[in-house]
Amino acid sequence: MDVNNKVEIFRSVDEFINFYSLEIPKGYDKFEVQLSETCRSSYIKHRFGRIFSAITYNFRFQSILELGVLDGYSLFSMAFGCSSKKIKTDAEDIVGVDLFDDYSYKKGKKTVVQQLIQGYGFQDFVKLRQGDIFNDDSIMNIVASSNLIHVDLSNDGGKVADIIKMIPENCDALIIFEGGSNERDNVEWMLQYKKPPLRESFINIAKGDKYNVSIIEEFPSLTILSTGDFLSNGK
What is 7-226's CATH topology? Answer: Rossmann fold (3.40.50)
pLDDT of residue 230: 84
Q: What is the pLDDT of residues 126-178, one digit of tens each?
A: 999 999 999 999 999 999 999 999 999 999 999 999 999 999 988 899 999 99
- As a whole number, the mean pLDDT across the chain is 93
Kindly state the average pLDDT of the residues 41-67.
Answer: 96
Q: Is the peptide bond before 220 cis (omega within 30 degrees of 0)?
A: yes
Q: Does 102 score more than 80 pLDDT?
A: yes
Using only C-alpha atoms, the chain has a radius of gyration, in whole angstroms, of 16
What residue segments make up the domains of the chain, in order of their start?
7-226
User: What is the three-class DSSP state of 232?
Assistant: coil
DSSP state letters, 126-180? EEEEES-GGG-HHHHHHHHH-SEEEE-SS--HHHHHHHHHHS-TT---EEEEE--
pLDDT of residue 88: 59
What percent of the chain is predicted at pLDDT more than 90? 87
For the entire predicted model, the pTM comes to 0.95
Classify burial at 152, counting beta carbons within 10 Å of its beta carbon; exposed 0-12, middle 13-18, buried 19 or more: buried
